């Protein structure tokens, strides 16, 4: 069967053929042992998709790739952290986990906790969680508590809950979360054969930028890549405490996943910027939506608005990217998470209330 063989030969990473999750694949880099009961949904091994339209728009031989982490089991990178956090919670005998969430953490916590036979409690800011994410938490069987107030308030409450009651916190303050999330950097290097020159990523609590940096540094130390990226973190202008240097009391942005005014990993993120020679910048909701539409129309990639902040940031700082650079933009979550924003802001052509006949349809199509 020469045809089958040649098609098989196209796969660059044979590991994905028998992929059974990132703890299985990268266990020797993670704080697990044979005694750890691995709770996995085969997360990780997400595609690194070339972005020809974006590369062309930047010009000067710059090559952009998209790390499409919305391909994870619950549709965001949070699964990488949650497989670790929940496996370690189970190892420690926990019966329940809790998190505060702008949506994706609650979806991932719910799925992994239930998979591991634990209860999941999630606190969300009432009215500010995208519909798909709420649907997931409910369907996976979490107990959802919607509190009046923003994410920061919800996080304060769950931290106190985890201090006072026998329940494990699975927000990114949980160190196992970042351990799991650092595997995304391993995958990028495994795929590119080196670290990118720039890594563009949205920041909310800034756990993910810290995790990526940890992953790049560990691989670098082990000799898997000779270079390290500049870490470029982007926030929404109405919710940019790491850019402004001060807490935002009333964070506001269409990108609800990063609507966070008091980032839990502030100190870590500042260190990442310093160590990597990186930079932080704010992008407006308009710039986020432009990037969001561009990715859909020109690249065929549907991410959620928060994820598009990485591309909006890259476009904003494009002049600073050296010619011939390799750039990776992290697309943190799947576009289907937030159908309302897509429908309201797609700019797509919708022709409604048509007569069901050929003439009408042909006319609308311009024939
Ligand atoms: C959680 C999340 C972020 C922000 O990640 P942090 O680790 O909090 O900085 C960005 N995008 C999406 C889609 C998310 O779910």
Residue with the nearest Cα to atom 13 of ligand 1?
Answer: 333
| C-alpha distances out from residue 42 to 14, 19, 125, 303, 352, Å | 16, 7, 29, 21, 41
Most informative mutation of 151, 205, 236 for ligand 1 (most atoms within 8 A of CB):
205
Is 339's pLDDT higher than 60? Answer: yes
Q: Which atom of ligand 1 is nearest to the CA of 206?
A: 9
* Residue 131 alpha carbon to ligand 1 centre in Å: 16
Here the tokens at position 172 are 């990114």
Distance CA 222, CA 353 (A): 61
Residue 199 has phi, psi (to 5 degrees) of -120, 115
Three state DSSP letters for 213-228? HHHHHHHHHCCCCCCC
* Residue 284 alpha carbon to ligand 1 centre in Å: 17
Residue with the nearest Cα to atom 1 of ligand 1?
Answer: 257
Q: Which atom of ligand 1 is nearest to the CA of 306?
A: 11
Here the tokens at position 184 are 């995304």
> Shortest CA distance to 338 belongs to which of 104, 88, 91?
104
* Residue 100 alpha carbon to ligand 1 centre in Å: 13
Mean local confidence (pLDDT), 16-29 = 91
* Residue 361 alpha carbon to ligand 1 centre in Å: 42
Q: 236: part of which helix (H) or strand (E)?
A: strand 230-236
pLDDT of residue 35: 96
In tens, the pLDDT along 84-120 reads: 999 999 999 999 999 999 999 999 999 999 999 999 9
CA-based radius of gyration for the chain: 21
Is 186's pLDDT higher than 50? Answer: yes
Distance CA 301, CA 294 (A): 9
Residues in the chain: 367
Give every CB contact of residue 127 below 8 A, 6+ residues apart in sequence.
146
In tens, the pLDDT along 205-239 reads: 999 999 999 999 999 999 999 999 999 999 999 99
In tens, the pLDDT along 299-317 reads: 999 999 999 999 999 999 9
Write down the mean pLDDT value for the chain.
94
pLDDT above 70 coverage of the chain, percent: 95
On whether the CB atoms of residues 288 and 309 are closer than 8 A, the answer is yes
Residue with tokens 């009215």: 127
* Residue 139 alpha carbon to ligand 1 centre in Å: 21
pLDDT of residue 172: 87
Here the tokens at position 222 are 């082990």
pLDDT of residue 34: 95
Confidence of residue 359 (pLDDT cuts 50, 70, 90): very high
Q: 147: part of which helix (H) or strand (E)?
A: strand 143-147
Q: Which atom of ligand 1 is nearest to the CA of 103?
A: 15
Here the tokens at position 75 are 């549709």
pLDDT of residue 244: 96
Distance CA 201, CA 285 (A): 16
Using alpha carbons only, what angle is made at residue 17 by residues 14 and 22, rounded to the nearest 5 degrees? 90
* Residue 103 alpha carbon to ligand 1 centre in Å: 10
Most informative mutation of 73, 170, 202 for ligand 1 (most atoms within 8 A of CB):
202
Residue with the nearest Cα to atom 15 of ligand 1?
Answer: 104
Here the tokens at position 62 are 């710059």
Q: Which atom of ligand 1 is nearest to the CA of 333?
A: 13
Residue with tokens 């929404």: 236
* Residue 205 alpha carbon to ligand 1 centre in Å: 7
Residues near ligand 1 (Cβ within 6 A): 76, 78, 104, 172, 202-208, 257-258, 304, 306-307, 332-333
DSSP 2-19: HHHHHHHHT-S-GGGGG-
Residue with the nearest Cα to atom 2 of ligand 1?
Answer: 257
Number of helices and strands (H, E) in the chain?
16, 10
Give the orientation angle of helix 78-91 with respect to helix 104-115, to 10 degrees: 40
Is 7's pLDDT higher than 80? Answer: no
């Amino acid at each position: 069967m020469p045809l089958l063989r040649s098609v098989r030969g196209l796969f660059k990473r044979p590991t994905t053929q028998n992929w059974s999750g990132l703890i299985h694949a990268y266990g020797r880099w993670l704080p697990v042992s044979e005694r750890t009961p691995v709770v996995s949904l085969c997360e990780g091994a997400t595609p690194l998709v070339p972005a020809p339209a974006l590369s062309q728009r930047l010009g000067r031989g710059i090559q952009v790739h998209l790390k499409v982490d919305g391909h994870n089991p619950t549709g965001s990178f949070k699964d990488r952290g949650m497989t670790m956090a929940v496996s370690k919670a189970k190892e420690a005998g926990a019966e329940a986990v809790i998190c505060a969430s702008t949506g994706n953490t609650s979806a991932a916590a719910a799925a992994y906790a239930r998979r591991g036979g634990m209860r999941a409690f999630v606190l969300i800011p009432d009215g500010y969680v995208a519909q798909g994410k709420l649907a997931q938490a409910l369907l996976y069987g979490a107990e959802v508590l919607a509190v009046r107030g923003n994410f920061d308030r919800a996080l304060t409450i769950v931290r106190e809950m985890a201090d006072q009651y026998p329940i494990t916190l699975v927000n990114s303050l949980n160190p196992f979360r970042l351990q799991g999330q650092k595997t995304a950097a391993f995958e990028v290097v495994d795929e590119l054969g080196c670290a990118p020159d720039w890594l563009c990523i949205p920041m909310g609590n800034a756990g993910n930028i810290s995790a990526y940096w940890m992953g790049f540094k560990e691989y670098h130390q082990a000799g898997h890549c000779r270079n390290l990226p500049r870490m470029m973190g982007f926030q929404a202008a109405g919710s940019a405490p790491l850019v402004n240097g001060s807490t935002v009391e009333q964070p506001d942005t269409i990108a609800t996943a990063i609507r966070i005014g008091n980032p839990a990993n502030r100190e870590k993120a500042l260190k990442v910027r310093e160590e990597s020679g990186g930079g932080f910048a704010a992008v407006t909701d308009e710039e986020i939506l432009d990037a969001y539409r561009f990715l859909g129309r020109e690249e065929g990639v549907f991410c959620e608005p928060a994820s598009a902040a990485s591309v909006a940031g890259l476009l904003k700082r494009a002049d600073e990217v050296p010619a011939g650079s390799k750039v990776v933009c992290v697309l943190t979550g799947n576009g289907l998470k937030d159908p309302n924003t897509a429908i309201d802001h797609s700019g797509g052509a919708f022709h409604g209330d048509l007569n069901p006949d050929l003439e009408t349809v042909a006319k609308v199509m311009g024939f």
